[in-house]
Amino acid sequence: MRMWRIALLAALVLVLGASMTSSAQAVTTQKKVLVQLREQGGFAGLDDRVTVYTDGCVRLSRRTGPAVARCLTGGEMRGLRADLRHLRVGRSEARPPGADFIKYTLAYRGHRADRYTLPGTWTAVVRRLERILQKYWTPS
């Protein structure tokens, strides 16, 4: 009888230890963000987000539907990384007077800025991320 209890206790320790290890691994394997774009505003109330992770996967969301997770092709990631080499995030731009403007928020390598007009180094990155959103985000 005593041996049965020892075996049960040992099995419980193994099971609990394994579950704690897998929980710890899940916490430490969070995806690292490569670049993030958010577009907000405009007359229609735009609110789009594109988050690209270093592993090549993306999270896409729009105001009008659920978030979608997809992975980019190798060519798409190479093209994005090439555009990012020329990106200079810079400073945020003051909100212009008026009501029908789109605010672009771009985050890359620890820098984040809001712009209402696209600087030259932002254009290729923003357009590429918009194409990714159009291609992979589909409403449910």
Check: CB of residue 8 under 8 Å from CB of residue 27: no
pLDDT tens string 97-125: 887 899 999 999 999 999 999 999 999 99
pLDDT band for position 2 (cuts 50, 70, 90) = low
Is residue 130 pLDDT above 90, yes or no? yes
Tell me the Cα Rg of the chain: 22
Tokens of 121: 């180094």
Q: What local confidence, expressed as pLDDT, does residue 5 receive?
A: 55
What H or E segment, with its residue span, contains residue 5? helix 2-28
Q: Burial, 98: exposed, middle or buried (Cβ in 10 Å; 0-12, 13-18, 19+)?
A: exposed
Overall average pLDDT of the 26-30 stretch: 55
- Looking at residue 43, its pLDDT comes to 78
How does pLDDT run across 38-94, given as a tens digit for each residue? 999 887 788 999 999 999 999 999 988 889 999 999 999 999 999 999 999 999 999
The pLDDT of 14-41, averaged and rounded, is: 68
Q: Long-range contact list for 85-91, CB < 8 A, 24+ apart?
A: 86/121, 86/124, 87/121, 87/122, 87/125, 88/119, 88/121, 89/113, 90/119, 90/121
pTM of the model: 0.76
Q: Which pLDDT does position 123 carry in this prediction? A: 96
Phi, psi of 117 (to 5 degrees): -125, 140
Q: So what's the pLDDT on residue 6?
A: 56
N residues, the chain:
140
Q: Which two tokens mark 21?
A: 């290890």
